[in-house]
Amino acid sequence: MTLDGLRPMAERFLEPFVTGADRIGLTPDGISTIAFGFAVFAGACYAVAGTQLSGYGPAPMLYVVGALLVFLNGWLDLLDGALARRQGTDSMSGDLLDHVLDRYADIVIIAGLAAGVESFLIGFLAITGVLMTSYLGTQAQAVGLDRVYGGLVGRADRLAIIGVVTAVSAVVTTTFAGLPLVGWLLVFLAAVGHLTAVQRFYGSMNALD
C-alpha cells in the first residue's frame, strides 16, 4: 500500500502544471518553500479546529481548509521535482532542501493535529514514527542501496489519509473510546509509522547481506 509507486503515472498529469510554472518563472526551490508554507498553515488550521474560537464556538470547517492545504503540499511536492527535471536544475542541494522542508512539513502538520485535540503523547509517537519512516528511506541510500519509498505507508499515502480523515472530521465530531476521529488518526500514524520504519529497516538489512 503505497502511492509513492504511482509517482511516474502522476508526473504525466503534472505536465501542464510544470509548463505553467516554468513559464511564470517559478523555481523548484521556490515551489518547495511554498509547499512548506501550505503545511504550516495546515498545521495552524488543525490546531485551531480542535479548540474553541472565542465567541464563535467550534471551528470544524477549519479541518476542511487544513485538508485542502495538505493536498496542495503533496501536489507541490511532486511538482518541484518535475520542474527541476524540466529546467535541468535538479541537484543534490535541491534534493536536500526538499527533504528538509518535507520533514518540517510533516512535523508541523502532525503537531497541529495533536495540539488541536490535546493528544500530545500520541502526537509525539506519530511524529517520531513518521520521521523514522523517512529516515530509513534515505538511510538505505546512504549505505549504497536505492532510496526506499515502499512499506506500509509512504509520504504520499500519509498525506492522502490525513487529508481525507481531517476533511471527514469536519462533520464527524463524535468520539470513540474517548478519542475524536483526529485522535485515532494520530494513533494510526504512530502505529504504521513505526511499523513502516521497521519494515524498511529489515528490508535494507536483507538487501545488504
- CA 200/CA 208 separation, integer angstroms: 12
- CA 31/CA 67 separation, integer angstroms: 19
Residue 52 pLDDT greater than 70, yes or no: no
What are 185's three cell numbers? 488518526
Return the number of other C-beta atoms located less than 10 Å from residue 107's C-beta: 15
**Predicted model pTM:** 0.89
Question: Is the pLDDT higher at 137 or at 53?
Answer: 137
Q: Is 23 exposed, middle or buried (0-12, 13-18, 19+ CB in 10 A)?
A: exposed
* Residue-wise pLDDT tens digits, 76-122: 988 988 888 888 887 888 888 999 999 999 999 999 999 998 999 99
> Contact 147/137 with Cβ under 8 angstroms?
yes
149 secondary structure, DSSP code: -
Query: Of 96-105, 148-157, 192-201, which gets the smallest average pLDDT?
Result: 148-157
Question: Can you give the pLDDT at residue 183?
Answer: 94
- CA 120/CA 140 separation, integer angstroms: 30
Q: Class of the 3-208 domain?
A: mainly alpha
User: In the chain, what are the domain boundaries?
Assistant: 3-208
* Residue-wise pLDDT tens digits, 113-149: 999 989 999 999 999 999 999 898 888 888 887 877 7
Question: Can you give the pLDDT at residue 8?
Answer: 63
